[in-house]
Amino acid sequence: MKFKGLVLAGIVSTTISCQSVKKDMRVFDQYPVREGELTEMDYSPVETKFSLWSPVADEVRVLLYESGHEGSAYRTIPMKKEKDGTWKATVAEDLNGKFYTFNVKVRGKWLGDTPGIMAKAVGVNGKRGAVLDLNTTDPEGWENDVRPPLNSFADVVVYEMHHRDFSIGSSSGITHKGKFLALTEEDTKSSLGEKTGIDHLKELGVNHVHILPSYDYASVDESQPESNQYNWGYDPLNYNVPDGSYATDPFTPSVRIKEFKQMVQALHKAGIRVVLDVVYNHTFDLANSNFEKTVPGYFYRFDEKGRYANASGCGNETASNRVMMRKYMIQSVLHWVNEYHIDGFRFDLMGIHDIETMNEIRAELDKIDPSIFIYGEGWACNPPKMPHEKLAMKANAHKMPGIAVFCDEMRDGLRGPFYDDKQGAFLNGLPGHEMSIMYGLVGCIPHPQIKNDSVNYSKKAWATQPTQMISYVSCHDDMCLADRIKSTMPEASEAERVALHKLAETFVFTSQGVPFIFTGDEVMRDKKGVHNSYNSPDEINTIEWKQKTTYREVFDYIKDLIAMRKTHPAFRMGNADMVRKHMEFLPVKGSNLIAFVLKDHANGDPWNNIVVAFNSRKEPAKLSVPKGKYTIVCKDGKINPKGLGKVNGAEVVVPAQSALIMHQ
């Protein structure tokens, strides 16, 4: 999404004057770089070592507390400055269970308490760091946890979900509603007997769960767990610790950490990898952010007038191009991989970050496991304060091998533009969107049949491999698919909406890109028409599990699409040269009809000459195909790999508002 709708505090006031900021901008690159790890609290029963990088500080002190949220510090310890701008102090006693903050003095002013920028355990609401041995938070069997096998990024199937949406519903049959532990419960069923929770994911067949921001974010008061607060979480507070609102006990620091690990462990056992949504591009609160209270100005970009820049649309943009911010992002990502066994990352507003940083993150993850998946939004809300050619924008995806980007060309070619909920496109029978969709079907790579001048947003291919393209029609941003169809076709019957819903998802799962589905789209989930539901109540965002029974045919269709894709490698070639060799678009007459053939046993598929056709017209369409005998496997909103019938000849009829798939 291009704007989260967040209203942020502290975007005008700063901890230092504008004149001082301008002066510091000239010397930021001269700051010493901290060597080694950025760990700020290193615990042992004998001693705890504290350290904080703040090269501009006059003084730094660490304060100790008995409580994570109450009372005053019982001890204040001055820290000593080292040559690399890092301040250090050691407490030679067992501090297990205590809490701490740092306070930095710059130009004679104490900036206020902060848990630091790299806190890995915190008290309720994340205001104080917690002294904790992370090894004690490992669930039983954690040392044997392994990520499920993955041969290629072409095999990835992503399911995007929000913890609360997925399990809070009264009909979910889940005990730990809205919590990390919801994804550890097995054999849960809806009030109508349908599988829910992790069993639902297994039944659907996805192999990657993308969880919306689950680090410690600012907008939900963790101390009021029964108040039914809601937010997507795109308002970072502490990047390196799970959010307490999804834990059964937000007051005890170890609980959120252990329960997050239990969630990952359970998903891994189910054969599902975990993707973490990360938001390094901005912070919730600028003036009071941990970054600003540690090294004022350094972690952010500025405009030409010396004001904090705002490419995020949320009041600030971080400076990934600065050495220590880059190092911070890399070490933060590695922490989630090493400590929590995370299998992938989705970068929010990735276009704000610089290409060099993203490539370094890819390189560091490759050292651990090259199958860890990285993708992100290849755009920003406003122009970032860096040259466009250096930014991780969609147009520069070819400069970031191994990193994927969301494809809004096919998305909007199917259902209409992001900026107008009532404007439709191909699904509505409107002409002129075919080439944008074809561009997405090949995975946004160069292809001889794609006329780039007719593509909606990009006039050239931006991916070098199809696995760099995320294929989707809806996500948490914007209307979900069911709402969008209702909004653009208010007079459509339910049968028509169901047919178009299936048609849209067929594009997603037969694209050579990486398919991505928004939680609940498989049961025609709706959000009551709300476009930006980032803080809407549960009645707007919750998955109503009874709809799995109501729209079982939709669920079965998408489940069968996923199974067909996983079984037949022609739909996931994963190589641009193979796509160009084996994927050929067929000539069609008129608009709102698209067809292609995957020829010559593409990618070793036992099916030969697979014809895939999409018709959004309200009447059947005739299609010329290579002459031969075909077995139909998808027709009239049903899928059966064993066959739904036979056709023979050089012409077929594609039913109205549906897809046809057949093979020789």
For residue 122, is it left (φ>0), alpha (ψ between -120 and 50) or beta?
Answer: beta
CA 73, 76, 77, 82 torsion-angle sign? positive
Residue 471's φ and ψ, nearest 5 degrees, are: -95, 120
- Residues ≥6 apart with Cβ < 8 Å to 443: 463, 465, 466, 467, 468, 469, 471, 511, 512, 513, 576, 579
- The beta strands (E) that lie in 504-620 are given as 514-518, 583-585, 593-598, 610-615
Angle between helices 494-510 and 481-488 (to 10 degrees): 130
Give the residue among 643, 644, 596 at the shortest CA–CA distance from 623: 596
Query: For residue 107, what are its two tokens?
Result: 């130009």
- 531 burial class (0-12, 13-18, 19+ CB within 10 angstroms)? middle
- Picking from 251, 229, 92, 77, the residue whose alpha carbon sits closest to that of residue 164 is 229
Are the C-beta atoms of residues 444 and 489 closer than 8 Å to each other? no
Quick check: 405 and 468 in contact, CB under 8 A?
Answer: yes
Question: 317, 339, 377, 421: which one is catalytic?
Answer: 377
Q: Do residues 205 and 226 touch, judged by C-beta distance below 8 A?
A: no
> Two tokens at 445?
């790579």
343 counts as catalytic: no
The dihedral of CA 295, 298, 303, 309: what is its sign? negative
State the Cα–Cα distance between residues 317 and 383, nearest whole angstrom: 10
Distance CA 332, CA 342 (A): 12
- 311 neighbors 352 (Cβ within 8 angstroms): yes
Alpha-carbon dihedral of residues 125, 127, 131, 136, nearest 10 degrees? 20
Greatest Cα pair distance, the chain, in angstroms, is: 86
The b-or-e profile of 243-267 (16+ CB within 10 A means b, else e) is bbbbbeebbbbbbbbbbbbbbbbbb
Is 377 a residue of the active site? yes
Which among 348, 354, 421, 521 is annotated as catalytic?
Answer: 348
HSE, CB side, 13 Å, CA atoms: give it for residue 84: 12
Listed residue (305, 397, 390, 352) closest to 3, CA to CA: 352
What are the residue numbers of the active site? 348, 377
